[in-house]
Structure 1
Amino acid sequence: MPEATPPAAGPSRQTRSGSFATAQVQAGYVTGLAENTAVPSIHQSNGFEFSSLSEARDLFALRKDGNIYSRAANPTVLVFERRVAELEGGIGAAGVASGQAAVAVALLALAKQGEHIVAARQLYGGTVDLLQDTFADWGIEVTFVDQDDTAAWEAAVRPTTRALFAESISNPIAQVLDLGAVAAVARRAGVPLVIDNTVATPYLQRAKDFGADIVVHSATKFLGGHGTSLGGVVVDLGTFDFTADPGRWPQLTQTYPRVPDGSLVERFGEAGSPYIALVKTKYVHDLGPSLSAFNAFQLLQGLETLDLRMQRHTASALTVARFLESHPAVARVHHPGLDSSPWHANAQAYLPDGTSSVFAFDLHATGDADADFRLVEEVISRLRVVRLVANIGDARSLVAHPASMTHSHMSPAQLAEAYITPTTVRLSIGLEDPRDIVDDLCRALDGVSDVASDDAGAERQLAEAGSH
């Protein structure tokens, strides 16, 4: 029988480069052609063409550096990684899909089933969820300690401990970590100190200068700065020697199945980061929390103005904090730039270029949970400039109620240990005119003060009536 002919693919049309169908897929583009763009390009491609099968084989075996598939590496993402690594003084970085992913892969590359992490208990609520719930499911135990208690950090260390973890500035109370003291504990324990530097950013604090070994960021926040793009990044600061105790770090010092006849230290130890290679080739590759090229491009745009924005953010936040401290409706303000803050001395030591623009304040509590919630809700409902959004580090000023939003999964005891009360209100001060932010908060708080005064007057009248 004669061979069957394929069905016609529509009208037969020809172009200068061949058939219409082939031209619509391939015309006008030459693989590998360099374009001299002045800003990083968006390499919106899932895969990359190899010059030969031999090149593909070497790339997949990690014998050669290059682009394979955007789940693990992408040229636009690589620019973002290199830029953040430079700002943090690191030797390598891995861009991922979110800050939560950055924390997860950074710690998973250090601790496996049956091993242990010591973490500050003053952390973002989503991080607490990850460490106490999901890591427990995976057989990784986490001990939470008061970040200000150096002795507690020391006492929590075990032979199976593989990392210490904390935020340089905590979310939402803006506690400033005594980074040098915790770094000393990590050095004595022989484990890396991993710091979430999201709130401080490398502009306000380079954690490497105070003893950190690995930094993570939710790039969604200040690094991007505009509330448009999710992203995260892990940075190896190059300060921890995994070869000093090779038996403790077999994932880096022993033969790695994905590197033929060698370990990650042998392959990447001279000119690169074995740790970041592990993060990328195992945890990002296998779990897939990849940073998209488009989001990397937007985050790069944000990075270009990081110092200017942080100057405005922090200056405005201190102005707002000083106003709040003077308002009668406010019980206390948690801002390390204020003389009244328990962390003011740490802020002076660790944040010389400005303190936090993410901080919290407490309204006067009634002692009744429902009444306290309604009080906070009343204040937030009166705001017009400051927006109710579950984010920080945005160009816009944002407000949140940690107890019912970002930290709602924590127990009452955990909330108390993190200094979060039912009347705690978190602010992330944006780039608006600080006078407008203050006026907005003043209107909201004055209205609540008036209502509270009316309620108190009514209660006095009732009490007086009852006494006659």
Structure 2
Amino acid sequence: MSEAPQYGFDTLQVHAGARPDPATGARQTPIYQTTAYVFRDADHAAALFNLQEVGYIYSRLTNPTVAVLAERIATLEGGVGGVCCSSGHAAQIMALFPLMGPGRNVVASTRLYGGTVTQFSQTIKRFGWSAKFVDFDDLDAVRAAIDEDTRAIFCEAIANPGGYITDLDAIAGVADAAGLPLIVDNTSATPYLCRPIEHGATLVVHSTTKYLTGNGTVTGGAIVDSGRFDWSASDKFPSLAAPEPAYHGLKFHETFGPLAFTFHGIAVGLRDLGMTMNPQAAHYTLMGIETLSLRMQRHVENAVKVASWLETHPKVARVTYAGLPSSPWHERVARICPKGAGGLFTFALKDGYEACVRLVGAVNLFSHVANLGDTRSLIIHPASTTHRQLSEAQQVAAGAAPDTLRVSIGIEDAADIIADLEQALARV
């Protein structure tokens, strides 16, 4: 029997997880707009509910359109399985849900999206969880933050908003030594630029709203399981290693092996948290992923040109783009993101906060929105919007200081992007 072909990324982004519809022959994945699925008989229904057979029960748990998307993202990330959900924030909670418990904590990077900082510093307290925020460039500080109640380590591959690149290999080493899973948010990089599992990540989370969909139409999230973590190596992860009362004592890791986290995410996470992705959103994201590599190439190409131009502008104090040789994280690009440093970065204005506010009102081509990863170029002032809920010290630590603007560089003509910034800066 011949071996299955090993397809390249560009092929997988079009074909992974998808097959012609068996009923109609439809080539594009249909939108299965249905709530429930007819069982063959009573025994079939019982087997599905007992997790003895894989299939479709109810669209809060699984849906054929969403299942194709989960398989495609997992394949592109090099994982064994994936779970799709309603948003990136939902993906973060679902990633932590099987790992945490009252009194447990997660060690997180200080360089995170402001909404994630708020979710981790405020909202998860209602579950009895907590987070410790540490500069992930200080490995000793990361090690010191880990205690007996730590259950995960969390970071972003390319951090929002500043485009900071995390040394995933080094952080994975710390996580491995502590016997803890490393969760990496790969939203800003996408698997085209970075595959965190190859650098030691246990789980990868995405806001599929951003670059994966790429067109600013739908929200969504995803969790990809590497399948490499031994959930039974200690007593720290009973949700995955101990008997599950809701399934008559079934042990997820013992039963499903490398797919334990994926099955738990569906059978418990989606069942009880209900953070479901709708099939139409999955359809839009599938169509977006088909052109992911092409878009990311242009995002990177344009970002290098725009960041290089901004760095020489007399009104600009600094540019954070890791793709610039002047960046302190430039050497990590070749190791962590070999195809480029992404399309997201910040720049600071010498005239500070008020100048930033005026600039976002002066652009024409750029859209002033709270989003990133769109085909369009986007701009926002994080300190007054996405990171407004943080203290100034937290804003600075996250790369969103008051004098800083975040840009998500689109796929328009680079000369037009630069011209829009030039005229806006002239008016500030």
Query: What TM-score does the superposition give when structure 1 sets the normalisation length?
Result: 0.85
Question: How far is 1:191 from its partner?
Answer: 0.5
Instruction: Name the structure 2 match of 1:427.
Output: 407
Question: How far apart are 1:418 and its partner, in Å?
Answer: 2.2
Q: Establish whether residue 295 from structure 1 lines up as the match of residue 281 from structure 2.
A: yes
1:115 correspondence with 2:104: yes
Match of 2:370 in 1: 390
1:121 CA drift (Å) = 1.1
Question: How far did residue 377 of structure 1 move?
Answer: 2.1
Aligned to 1:444: 424
What do the CA deviations read for 1:81-120 (whole angstroms, capped 9, x no partner)? 0000000000110000001100111012211111111000
For residue 261 of structure 1, report the CA deviation from its aligned partner: 4.2
Q: Which residue of 2 aligns with 1:286?
A: 272
Query: Residues 35 and 181 (structure 1 numbering): CA distance in 2 closer, same or farther, change over 3 Å?
Result: same
Question: C-alpha distance in 2, partners of 1:322/1:312?
Answer: 15
Q: Secondary structure at the match of 1:81?
A: helix
**Letter in structure 2 aligned against 1:359:** F
Counterpart in the other structure of 1:132:
121
1:320 corresponds to which letter in structure 2?
V
Paired residue for 1:76, among 51, 65, 74?
65
* Aligned residue number for residue 250 of structure 1: 238
Aligned to 1:268: 256
Query: What is the rounded CA distance, in whole Å, between the counterparts of 1:355 and 1:66 in structure 2?
Result: 40
Matched letter for residue 332 of structure 2: N
- Look up the equivalent residue of 1:162 and give its one-letter code: R
Task: Tell me if structure 2 keeps the 8 A contact 1:63–1:259.
Answer: no
Partner SS, residue 265 of structure 2? helix
SS at 1:273 equivalent: helix
Instruction: Decide which of 333, 336, 355 is 2:341's aligned counterpart.
Output: 355
Deviation at 1:46? Answer: 0.7
Give the residue type in structure 2 aligned to 1:393. G
Hey, what's the Cα distance between the residues in 1 that align with 2:288 and 2:134? 34
Partner of 2:143: 154
Letter in 2 for 1:146: D
Secondary structure of 2:152's aligned partner: strand
State the partner residue of 1:5.
none
Which position in structure 1 is the counterpart of 2:12?
none
Q: CA deviation at 1:33?
A: 7.0
Deviations 1:127-149 (A, max 9, x none): 11111111112111210001211
Q: CA deviation at 1:374?
A: 2.8
CA distance in 2, matches of 1:234, 1:418: 23
Distance 1:420 1:34 in 2: 51
C-alpha separation in 1, matches of 2:97 and 2:250: 21
**1:225 correspondence with 2:214:** yes
Q: Give the aligned CA root-mean-square deviation in angstroms.
A: 1.2
Task: Write the deviation string for residues 147-197 of structure 1: whole angstroms up to 9, x where unpaired.
Answer: 211111111010111100000011011111011110000001101000000
1:395-436: CA deviation from partner (whole Å, max 9, x where unpaired):
110001100111111111211222322110000011111110
Q: Separation in 1 of the partners of 2:396 and 2:192?
A: 31
Distance 1:122 1:86 in 2: 27
> Does 1:141 pair with 2:127?
no
SS in 2 for 1:248: coil
Matched, 1:334 2:320: yes
Q: Which amino acid aligns with 1:42?
A: I
Structure 2: gaps (5+ residues): 1-20
Partner of 1:79, secondary structure, is helix
TM superposition shift of 1:375 = 1.3
Structure 2: distance between partners of 1:258 and 1:40: 33
Partner secondary structure for residue 102 of structure 2: coil
Q: How many angstroms apart in 1 are the aligned matches of 2:296 and 2:404? A: 24
The amino acid that maps onto 1:173 is G
Deviations 1:61-85 (CA, angstroms, capped at 9, x unpaired): 1111110000011000000000000
Q: Which sections of structure 1, spanning at least 5 residues, go unmatched?
A: 1-31, 366-371, 449-468
Cα separation, 1, equivalents of 2:287 and 2:382: 30
Amino acid at match of 2:385: M
TM-aligned CA deviation for residue 379 of structure 1: 1.2
Contact 2:113 2:398 in 1 (8 A): no
Percent identity, aligned pairs only, is 43
Q: Does the CA contact (< 8 Å) of 1:214 and 1:235 recur in 2?
A: yes
Is 1:103 matched up with 2:92?
yes
After TM superposition, the score normalised by the length of structure 2 is: 0.93
* 2-structure distance, mates of 1:440, 1:257: 59
Q: Distance in 2 between matches of 1:329 and 1:188?
A: 46
Cα distance between partner residues in 2 of 1:353 and 1:375:
34
Flag the structure with larger Rg. Answer: 1
Aligned to 1:7: none
Residue in 2 aligned with 1:458?
none
Contact 2:161 2:399 in 1 (8 A): no
Q: Is the Cα–Cα contact under 8 Å of residues 307 and 319 in structure 2 kept in the other structure?
A: yes
Deviations 1:202-251 (A, max 9, x none): 00011111111100000000000000011100000122111222x22111
Alignment-mate amino acid for residue 236 of structure 1: D
Kindly tell me the number of residue pairs found equivalent between the two proteins. 408
What per-residue deviation string (whole Å, max 9, x for no partner) do you get for residues 366-414 of structure 1? xxxxxx4331122112111011010000011000110011111111121
Q: Secondary structure at the match of 1:152?
A: helix
CA distance in 1, matches of 2:32, 2:40: 18
Q: Distance in 2 between matches of 1:72 and 1:133?
A: 28
Task: Supply the distance in 2 between the matched residues of 1:33 and 1:215 (Cα, whole angstroms).
Answer: 31
Structure 1 residue ranges (4+ consecutive) displaced by more than 3 angstroms after TM superposition? none
AA at the equivalent of 2:201: A
Aligned to 2:27: 38
CA distance in 1, matches of 2:399, 2:73: 32
1:199 lines up with 2:179 in the alignment: no
CA distance in 1, matches of 2:356, 2:22: 58
